[in-house]
């Protein structure tokens, strides 16, 4: 139920982003692409140390997006999507800080992050170029 609610809220937030008057920003697009790439390889879950490092990098990247995106004008809707994505990645990083999650948990979380970040990527890429 929690995953369904998270997926629904992400889709809802991203649908609103399509109507956002903000301009395309290559720094944002680059960081979102990094997140898509970092979350696309479930093989990292086989090694707990690599999975932990990946979880922390994903959280750092989404936190960067929240801060950077907040400084851009007319970017509120994408920032809401970034905050939602940051919530997912912070939970992922926290699990690896406090315990050793299973490889299955890791793979499912990466899939969830990848799907959400791909939606953000496609939405961000459709913004008008200045």
Tokens of 40: 């696309």
- pLDDT value, residue 98: 85
What is the pLDDT of the chain when averaged over all its residues?
A: 86
Which residues contact residue 26 at a Cβ distance below 8 angstroms, ignoring those fewer than 6 apart?
A: none
- pLDDT value, residue 113: 97
128: confidence class by pLDDT, cuts 50, 70, 90: low
- Residues across the chain: 130
pLDDT at residue 120 above 70?
yes
pLDDT at residue 71 above 70?
yes
10 Å CB burial of residue 109 (0-12, 13-18, 19+) is buried
Tokens of 56: 């922390």
- pLDDT value, residue 96: 92
- pLDDT value, residue 20: 46
Which residues contact residue 118 at a Cβ distance below 8 angstroms, ignoring those fewer than 6 apart?
A: 36
Domains of the chain: 26-125 (1.20.120)
CA 81 to chain centre: 8
Roughly what angle, to the nearest 10 degrees, separates helices 48-70 and 26-38?
160
92: confidence class by pLDDT, cuts 50, 70, 90: very high
Q: How far apart are CA 100 and CA 20, in angstroms?
A: 40
Q: How far apart are CA 73 and CA 85, in angstroms?
A: 20
What's the pLDDT tens digit per position in 3-57?
A: 645 555 555 555 454 444 567 788 899 999 999 999 999 999 999 999 999 999 9
Torsion-angle region of 26 (φ positive above 0: left; ψ -120 to 50: alpha; else: beta) = alpha
**Mean pLDDT within 103-122:** 96
């Amino acid at each position: 139920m929690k995953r369904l609610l998270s997926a629904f809220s992400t889709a809802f937030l991203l649908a609103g982003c399509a109507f956002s008057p903000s301009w395309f920003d290559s720094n944002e697009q680059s960081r979102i692409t990094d997140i898509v790439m970092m979350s696309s390889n479930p093989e990292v879950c086989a090694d707990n140390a690599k999975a932990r490092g990946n979880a922390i990098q994903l959280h750092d990247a989404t936190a960067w997006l929240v801060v950077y995106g907040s400084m851009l004008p007319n970017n509120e809707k994408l920032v809401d999507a970034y905050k939602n994505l940051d919530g997912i990645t912070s939970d992922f990083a926290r699990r690896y800080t406090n315990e050793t999650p299973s490889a299955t948990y890791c793979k499912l979380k990466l899939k969830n992050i990848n799907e959400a970040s791909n939606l953000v990527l496609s939405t961000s890429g459709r913004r008008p170029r200045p």
